[in-house]
């Protein structure tokens, strides 16, 4: 069975411990490869390599640095089919989704930041007749990048690309649940001629490898995407060391449907925003709030379309929902459905594990689930489930729905469906979420700030925000 390697100082290497962890194909519920059970020793070797490489990488002419990154992006496109298949097998998502979204976005991330790096300009402030200030931005050093399992290569590249394009070198850790495409990516880096030590990928557990990266005194910046609880641990470790932190955390996003919306568009997009990637996207709208006069019609149609969604083998072209990431996660999702029942909710459809015949009979599948009749304050409506489960609640007034939408500890994204232009802007302005979509969902311009308020995160990724994060500003004041 395949053993995944770490990527340190340009080499594909075994972990110092010699130990490996099992990597499970969630659609089959079976181990299909092994990943390094790395520890602080591997992280140490990676940091030494990254520090050594920093000198030349940070000083390499921009165009040359960008050319190497663009070559990696081209190789991702060349290997689209192979990478999409690997992502689907490793993560459980439909291969069709991996091919149309995850992998194309990975190369787009790299291309976006590689080219952006050539457009960076320094700021200058003139003090009339007195002095001129200019501000330089230099790469911060070795960056630590830690990513989750839901969009593996997509989010891995979203983190490392701005770091590398800014001139940082990187020690990165993909999720232990989805190491495969980062491993294949490391091979592409070798093929593209990325200099040794510029990017180092260490596989293993969060508590060992992730923690060692966050604790390392020679890593001054940590870019993390994952759960809010992990984010708190990382912040507690990094804050006393005065590290720069970018935290992209969980969400419990409202999807607000006013009665004057384009019904067909709202319902079709809401099916996507609820169940894409099995609901395992931080931006999924898990609380659907529908204006009373449209409520019955919306709920009936939404249930009908949810029940028609094919759940099954991720490798089938017709599958819309594949497997959940792990048995543990599937149990967590199912336990929230039980909780919803205890809290007085009605399971309008779904609510159970799905048994898929054949190859996938032991896989971790759950039916897309719609729950009605719950109060806003219950745990089901307050906590992130991160699976194919949505609640639908009615509302009467605009102020009421704004209060409902803002009632959780999270503030990542929100969607508003209405044809009333003034109301759309008014509501958007009052929602405490970092990302608002009006009459659309997941329409992403990579130049825009990306991130959440409240417990959904600290800082923003995307465009210049990400490039600024990986650089230090220095102001030079020259007396005239």
Catalytic residues: 248, 282
How far apart, in whole angstroms, are the C-alpha atoms of residue 80 and residue 120? 30
Q: Which distant-in-sequence residues (6+ apart) come within 8 Å of 123 by Cβ?
A: 134, 135
Residue closer to ligand NAD by CB (options 170, 356) is 170
**Contact stretch for ligand NAD (CB under 6 A) within 70-78, 188-196, 221-229, 436-444:** 221-229
Q: In this chain, which stretch among 27-35, 126-134, 226-234, 394-402 interacts with ligand NAD, using CB under 6 A?
A: 226-234
Closest C-alpha among 420, 357, 351, 418 to residue 387: 351
Q: Pick out residues in 111-170 that bind ligand NAD (CB under 6 A).
A: 146-150, 155
Minimum CB separation from ligand NAD for residue 98, in Å? 16
Report DSSP state, residue 267: H
Q: Which of residues 176-205 bind ligand NAD (CB under 6 A)?
A: 176
Q: Does 243 bind ligand NAD (CB under 6 A)?
A: no
- Report how many residues bind ligand NAD under the rule CB under 6 A: 30
Helix, strand, coil in percent for the chain, rounding step 5: 45, 25, 35
* φ/ψ of residue 129, rounded to 5: 75, -5
**Parallel, antiparallel, or unpaired: how do β-strands 471-479 and 131-139 relate?**
antiparallel
Choices 62-70, 129-137, 222-230, 395-403; region in contact with ligand NAD by CB under 6 A: 222-230
Residue of 8, 49, 160, 234 interacting with ligand NAD (CB under 6 A): 234
Q: Is position 459 an interface residue for ligand NAD (rule: CB under 6 A)?
A: no
d(CA 99, CA 82): 9
Asked if 226 touches ligand NAD (CB under 6 A), the answer is yes
Q: Which is nearer to ligand NAD, 137 or 460 (CB)?
A: 460
Chain residues 267-286 in contact with ligand NAD, contact rule CB under 6 A: 282
Residue 147 DSSP symbol: -
Q: How far apart are CA 445 and CA 190, in angstroms?
A: 30
The residue within the footprint of ligand NAD, chosen from 15, 94, 179, 452 (CB under 6 A), is 452
Task: Describe the crossing of helices 152-165 and 180-192 by its angle, rounded to 10 degrees.
Answer: 40
86 touches ligand NAD by CB under 6 A:
no
**Closer of 155 and 348 to ligand NAD (Cβ):** 155
Selected from 91, 200, 230, 319, the binder of ligand NAD by CB under 6 A is 230
Q: How far is the CB of 20 from ligand NAD (least distance, A)?
A: 16
Secondary element (H or E) of residue 319: none
E strands, 310-421, are 346-349, 353-354, 365-366, 369-372, 389-395, 410-411, 413-417
Kindly list the distances between the CA atom of residue 263 and the CA atoms of 113, 298, 417, in Å, as whole numbers in the listed order. Answer: 37, 8, 9
Q: In this complex, which beta carbon is closest to ligand NAD, that of residue 141 or of residue 434?
A: 434
Shortest distance in whole angstroms from residue 123 CB to ligand NAD: 28
Q: Which is nearer to ligand NAD, 261 or 281 (CB)?
A: 281
Q: Name the phi and psi angles at 446, rounded to 5.
A: -65, -10
Bridge partners of residue 225, in order along the sequence: 248
Asked if 126 contacts 132 with a C-beta cutoff of 8 angstroms, the reply is yes
Which residues are CB-contacts of 467 (< 8 A; sequence separation ≥ 6)? 113, 116, 117, 120, 137, 162, 165, 166
The nearer residue to ligand NAD, 29 or 227, going by C-beta atoms, is 227
Binder of ligand NAD out of 92, 312, 457, 463 (CB under 6 A)? 457
One symbol per residue from 25 to 64: x for binding ligand NAD (CB under 6 A), - otherwise; what is it? Answer: ----------------------------------------
Residue 386 interacts with ligand NAD (CB under 6 A)?
yes
Query: Which residue, 345 or 452, has its beta carbon nearer to ligand NAD?
Result: 452
Four-point Cα dihedral 242, 246, 252, 255, nearest 10: 140
Can you give the binding site for ligand NAD, defined by CB under 6 A? 146-150, 155, 173, 175-176, 206-207, 210-211, 214, 225-227, 230, 233-234, 248-251, 282, 384, 386, 412, 452, 457
């Amino acid at each position: 069975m395949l053993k995944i390697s770490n990527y340190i100082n340009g080499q594909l290497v075994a972990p110092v411990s010699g130990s490996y962890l099992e990597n499970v194909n969630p659609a089959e519920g079976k181990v299909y490869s092994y990943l390094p059970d790395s520890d602080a020793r591997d992280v140490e070797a990676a940091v030494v390599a990254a520090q050594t490489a920093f000198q030349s990488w940070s000083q390499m002419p921009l165009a040359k640095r960008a050319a190497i990154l663009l070559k990696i992006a081209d190789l991702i496109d060349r290997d689209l089919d192979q990478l999409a298949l690997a992502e689907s097998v490793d993560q459980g998502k439909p291969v069709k989704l991996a091919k149309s979204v995850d992998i194309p976005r990975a190369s787009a991330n790299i291309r976006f930041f590689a080219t952006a790096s050539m457009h960076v300009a320094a700021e200058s402030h003139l003090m009339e007749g007195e002095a001129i200030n200019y501000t330089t931005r230099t790469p911060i050093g070795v960056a630590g990048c830690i990513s989750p399992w839901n969009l593996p290569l997509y989010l891995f590249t979203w983190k490392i690309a701005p770091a590398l394009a800014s001139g940082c070198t990187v020690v990165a850790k993909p999720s232990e649940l989805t190491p495969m495409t980062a491993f294949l990516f490391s091979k592409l880096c070798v093929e593209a001629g990325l200099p040794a030590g510029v990017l180092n990928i260490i596989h293993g557990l969060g508590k060992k490898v992730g923690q060692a990266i966050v604790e390392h005194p020679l890593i001054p910046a940590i870019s993390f995407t994952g759960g809010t609880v992990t984010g708190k641990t990382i912040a507690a470790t990094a804050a006393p060391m005065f590290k720069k932190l970018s935290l992209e955390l969980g969400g419990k996003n409202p999807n607000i449907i006013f009665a004057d919306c384009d019904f067909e568009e709202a319902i079709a997009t809401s099916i996507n925003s609820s169940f894409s990637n099995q609901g395992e996207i931080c931006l999924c709208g898990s609380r659907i709030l529908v204006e009373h006069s449209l409520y019955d019609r919306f709920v009936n149609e939404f249930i009908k379309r949810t029940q028609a969604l094919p759940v099954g083998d991720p490798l089938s072209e017709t599958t819309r929902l594949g497997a959940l990431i792990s048995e543990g996660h599937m149990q967590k999702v199912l336990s929230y459905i039980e909780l919803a029942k205890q809290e007085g909710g009605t399971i309008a459809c779904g609510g159970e594990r799905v048994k898929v015949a054949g190859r996938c009979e032991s896989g971790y599948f759950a039916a897309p689930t719609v729950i009605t009749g719950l109060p806003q304050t219950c745990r089901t409506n307050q906590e992130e489930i991160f699976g194919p489960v949505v609640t639908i609640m009615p509302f009467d007034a605009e102020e009421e729905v704004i209060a409902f939408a803002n009632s959780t500890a999270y503030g990542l994204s929100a969607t508003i469906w209405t044809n009333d232009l003034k109301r759309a802007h008014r509501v958007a302005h009052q929602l405490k979420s970092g990302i608002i979509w009006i009459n659309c969902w997941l329409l992403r311009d990579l130049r825009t700030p990306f991130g959440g308020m409240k417990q959904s995160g600290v800082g923003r990724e995307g465009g210049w925000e990400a490039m600024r994060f990986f650089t230090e500003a220095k102001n030079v004041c020259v007396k005239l």
